[in-house]
Amino acid sequence: MVAKLLDLAGIERERVQLRRVSAAEGALFSEYVTEVSQKTLEMGPFDPTQYMLELGAVQRALGTRRLRWLSGMEHQLDKAENVYREKTDPDLMEEVLSEAIRSEYHKALILEMLGEGPLSVREMAERSGMPVYTVSTRLNELERDGLAEFNCHEGSTAKFASLAA
């Protein structure tokens, strides 16, 4: 999930690694550290100040109820059988998870932008690189959830503000 969010944010997913190693596997741990260090050197330095908006959106998206629930249920939905002895189709699970991640990231990115002050749909689209339609759709979802609202008009352009903490 984090890797997919980093992809959406335009940050190399290899910058975050999660590996399981027991205390008895010192050689394996050393191998992983060497591998990650080499990849980090190849990618070069990371300047988080260039990605403040995107990193804030990744963090916000990871904290959403929807992604937390999907993360907790992924194993059960993907591997275990339901009460009817059916397994979830892995391709369907991947599709649902990918759409949820994309949707929550877009909404989080909008909230991050609105945290800096009221913006129009077009301004958010230009700043984020999302299509106007996507911004409009996600903004509508945020309004419905009570997290954003119309703020004012600037000429004939509507501006929106965040209601999220």
DSSP string computed for 70-107: HHHHHHHHHHSB-TTS-BPPHHHHHHHHHHHHHHHHHH
Which residues are 154's β-sheet partners?
Answer: 157
Say yes or no to pLDDT of 76 above 80: no
What is the reported pLDDT for 127?
A: 95
- pLDDT digit string, tens, across residues 48-75: 999 999 999 999 999 999 999 988 887 6
Please tell me the number of Cα atoms within 13 Å of 102 on its side-chain side.
10
3-state SS, residue 118: coil
Residue 66 lies in a domain: no
Residue 18 lies in a domain: yes
Domain total of the chain: 1
Q: In the numeric block, which tokens belong to residue 60?
A: 């916000």
Lowest mean pLDDT among 10-14, 70-74, 115-119: 70-74
What is the reported pLDDT for 72?
A: 82
Structural domain that includes position 13: 2-43
pTM of the entire predicted model: 0.86
Residues with Cβ within 8 Å of residue 161, at least 6 apart in sequence? 114, 117, 118, 148, 149, 151
pLDDT band at 15 (very low <50, low <70, confident <90, very high): confident
Which residues are 160's β-sheet partners?
Answer: 119, 150
What is the reported pLDDT for 29?
A: 92
**Average pLDDT over all residues of the chain:** 91
Residue 38 lies in a domain: yes
Say yes or no to pLDDT of 83 above 80: no
Residue 81 lies in a domain: no
Residue 136 lies in a domain: no
Residue 155 lies in a domain: no
Residue 34 lies in a domain: yes
- CA distances for 39 relative to 26, 42, 94, 125, angstroms: 20, 5, 27, 33
